[in-house]
Amino acid sequence: MIEDSVSVAVVGAGAAGLTAAIAAADTKATLPGRVVLLDGAKRLGAKILVSGGGRCNVTHDAVTPNDFFGNRNIIRNVLATFSVQQTIRWFASLGVDLKHEPTGKLFPTTDRARTVLDALLNRAQGTGITICPDHRVSHISRSGSEFRIDHSHGSMRTARLILATGGRSLPRTGSDGFGYQLARNLGHRVTSTVPALVPLVLEHSMFHAALSGLSQEVELVTIVEGREVDRRAGSLLWTHFGISGPVVLDASRFWTMATHHGVRVDLCANFVPGRTHDDVKAWFLTQVAEHPKRSLTRNLALLIPERFARSLCLYCSCDPQQSMAQVSRIDRNRLLDALTRFRFPVVRDRGWNFAEVTAGGVPLDEINYRTMESKVVPGLYLTGEMLDCDGRIGGFNFQWAWSTGWLAGQSAAGSLPTQSKPPSDL
Ligand SMILES: Cc1cc2nc3c(=O)[nH]c(=O)nc-3n(C[C@H](O)[C@H](O)[C@H](O)COP(=O)(O)OP(=O)(O)OC[C@H]3O[C@@H](n4cnc5c(N)ncnc54)[C@H](O)[C@@H]3O)c2cc1C
């Protein structure tokens, strides 16, 4: 079998891989050989197309290391090398203008993820990258200064290898975690991987299904083995299976990580964010004094959505229609506890098919953050979601993919010896 030989091979044509390949091809127009982009999927960019509800939340106007989980020193350095401003300019150079939303999220002005994918693919084709869909990589080995890549249509050799195989989220897009095996075979460690930005399933007996579709502001606290590890406020969405919405998705990694390690984890809510148990108790007593005949639900609806107030009353075995004056002290205390210290009966997360990202992966300290080159295997570069770094909701995960991809592509191509351009008449 004749083996193809290329200068830079990128495995995985998602956000990070496309960026890496383009950066490599753009860095050296005089590369001694080709840049090849291999992907197991027949159709490229499935995850970009479904992202941001089909609009692709490309980045965020303020990206800091605190928006990520992982080694924040390394994350800071990577983000500084290819910043949000560079990302915005880079997308503009590809013909994609981005607009800011009041939340700080940036989307293409067309509101279509397709615009982002098409621009990346057009640029990749325009720079002469050989794009190979339906080329699933099954094995990679190193011999001398080269890598041999076995894929579903044969094999190839390359001097520089960029791994951009993603994590385990949404496996039907092709990111099924096999990339970790490739990295391990080459000598890297991989930390435990768990779903992140994932909805949570509640005990069947809970009232969530009756509230399906309702969204409300809450403060969520995650407590692992009695220690608070995360506190955040935001929008919670009740669903037919349990809870979702930005605040739940952002907090979910702490629940999945603790559960994976077999330690006790409690997810608790204050449904009156910004107010303590005592604040709400004082408010409640004032309401009893001022509006003794008003119904309990109507009164609670001043603080929380009425549908939720009704469900919460029933959950606490309180008659929602009783007047404020009729609420017994025991009922009141149960209600106040449920309002401000509610413990969600989480039974499981919704799994990889519903997770937006992967927490865990190849440790960042095995990578040179200036180049994304492996410290373990010279000539190997690692990018994107396969690394042990996950961001919160808001465009941060794509920013990680663009930054690491660009850095790896540029460094991989830049490290190759230059070949002078052949005369144009040859
Ligand atoms: C529903 C959903 C919505 C999201 N929305 C947003 C959003 O709006 N904003 C945001 O910032 N983030 C969002 N994310 C997260 C974001 O999409 C990912 O963090 C990002 O796509 C990761 O990019 P990547 O290139 O590292 O990996 P991926 O995009 O997963 O790409 C990996 C590629 O490698 C290929 N591959 C894997 N194994 C092999 C193999 N053995 N051989 C060949 N090819 C292989 C796969 O086919 C795939 O194409 C969303 C995720 C999901 C699931």
Residues 268 and 328 grouped into a single domain? yes
243: buried, middle or exposed (CB in 10 Å: 19+, 13-18, 0-12)? Answer: buried
Distance CA 238, CA 255 (A): 18
Unique residue bearing structure tokens 């076995």: 150
Distance CA 78, CA 383 (A): 11
Residues 243 and 365 grouped into a single domain? no
Q: How far is the CA of 32 from the centre of ligand 1 (A)?
A: 30
Distance CA 422, CA 383 (A): 32
Distance CA 314, CA 335 (A): 10
Residues 9 and 126 grouped into a single domain? yes
Q: Which of 131, 178, 356 maximizes ligand 1 atoms within 8 Å of its Cβ, making it the mutation to test the pocket?
A: 356
Q: Which of 55, 63, 78, 165 maximizes ligand 1 atoms within 8 Å of its Cβ, making it the mutation to test the pocket?
A: 165
Residues 363 and 297 grouped into a single domain? no
Q: Are 92 and 27 in contact (CB under 8 A)?
A: no
Q: Does the Cβ of 13 fall within 6 Å of ligand 1?
A: yes
Unique residue bearing structure tokens 């920013």: 399
298, 333, 350: which is the final residue of a domain? 350
Q: Tell me if 228 is assigned to some domain.
A: yes
Q: How far is the CA of 116 from the centre of ligand 1 (A)?
A: 14
Q: Does the Cβ of 395 fall within 6 Å of ligand 1?
A: yes
Structure tokens at 265: 């984890």
Q: Tell me if 248 is assigned to some domain.
A: yes
Q: Does the Cβ of 403 fall within 6 Å of ligand 1?
A: no
Protein residue with its CA nearest to atom 10 in ligand 1: 395
Q: Tell me if 420 is assigned to some domain.
A: no
Give the percent of the chain with pLDDT over 90: 94
Q: How far is the CA of 298 from the centre of ligand 1 (A)?
A: 46
Q: Are 312 and 335 in contact (CB under 8 A)?
A: yes
pLDDT-flagged residues of the chain (< 50): 1, 420-426
Residues 329 and 406 grouped into a single domain? no
> Could you identify the atom of ligand 1 that is nearest to the CA of residue 41?
47
Q: To the nearest 10°, the Cα dihedral for 370, 374, 379, 380?
A: -120
Q: How far is the CA of 14 from the centre of ligand 1 (A)?
A: 5
Residue 46 CA to its chain's centroid (Å): 15
Distance CA 3, CA 160 (A): 16
Q: Tell me if 424 is assigned to some domain.
A: no
Number of domains, the chain: 2
**Residue type, position 26, single letter:** D
Residues 167 and 65 grouped into a single domain? yes
Q: Are 404 and 5 in contact (CB under 8 A)?
A: no
Q: State the CB neighbour count (10 A cutoff) for residue 204.
A: 11
Q: Tell me if 425 is assigned to some domain.
A: no
Residues 345 and 358 grouped into a single domain? no
Q: Does the Cβ of 350 fall within 6 Å of ligand 1?
A: no
Q: Does the Cβ of 372 fall within 6 Å of ligand 1?
A: no
Q: Does the Cβ of 38 fall within 6 Å of ligand 1?
A: yes
Q: Which of 42, 69, 91, 397 maximizes ligand 1 atoms within 8 Å of its Cβ, making it the mutation to test the pocket?
A: 397
Supply the range of the domain harboring residue 86.
4-194+354-414
Q: How far is the CA of 234 from the centre of ligand 1 (A)?
A: 25
Q: State the CB neighbour count (10 A cutoff) for residue 19.
A: 31
Report how far apart, in Å, the C-alpha atoms of 212 and of each of 192, 243, 245, 337 are.
33, 9, 12, 23
Q: How far is the CA of 6 from the centre of ligand 1 (A)?
A: 25
Angle at the Cα of 370 from the Cα atoms of 14 and 120, rounded to 5 degrees:
25
Q: Does the Cβ of 169 fall within 6 Å of ligand 1?
A: yes
Residues 329 and 388 grouped into a single domain? no
Q: Does the Cβ of 397 fall within 6 Å of ligand 1?
A: yes
Residue 87 sits in a domain whose CATH number is 3.50.50.60
Q: How far is the CA of 149 from the centre of ligand 1 (A)?
A: 21
Kindly state the helix (H) or strand (E) to which residue 233 belongs, with its residue range. Answer: strand 227-238
350, 367, 388: which is the final residue of a domain? 350
Q: Is 144 left (phi over 0), alpha (psi -120 to 50) or beta?
A: left
Strands 380-382 and 154-163: parallel
Q: Tell me if 71 is assigned to some domain.
A: yes
Residues 179 and 98 grouped into a single domain? yes
Structure tokens at 140: 């990679």
Report how far apart, in Å, the C-alpha atoms of 105 and of each of 46, 59, 100 are.
21, 6, 6
Unique residue bearing structure tokens 């210290």: 341
Tens digit of each residue's pLDDT (9 = 90 or more) over 108-160? 999 999 999 999 999 999 999 999 999 999 999 998 889 999 999 999 999 99
Kindly state the helix (H) or strand (E) to which residue 235 belongs, with its residue range. Answer: strand 227-238
Residues 303 and 336 grouped into a single domain? yes
Residues 284 and 207 grouped into a single domain? yes
Residue 164: closest CA among 143, 146, 180, 188: 180
Q: Does the Cβ of 245 fall within 6 Å of ligand 1?
A: no
What's the confidence (pLDDT) of residue 3?
Answer: 66
Q: Does the Cβ of 178 fall within 6 Å of ligand 1?
A: yes
303, 323, 350: which is the final residue of a domain? 350
Q: Tell me if 116 is assigned to some domain.
A: yes
Q: Tell me if 426 is assigned to some domain.
A: no
Distance CA 224, CA 254 (A): 8
Residues 320 and 239 grouped into a single domain? yes
Residue 364: closest CA among 386, 391, 394: 386
Question: Which residues of 341-410 form beta strands (DSSP E)?
Answer: 342-343, 346-349, 357-359, 367-368, 373-374, 380-382, 389-391
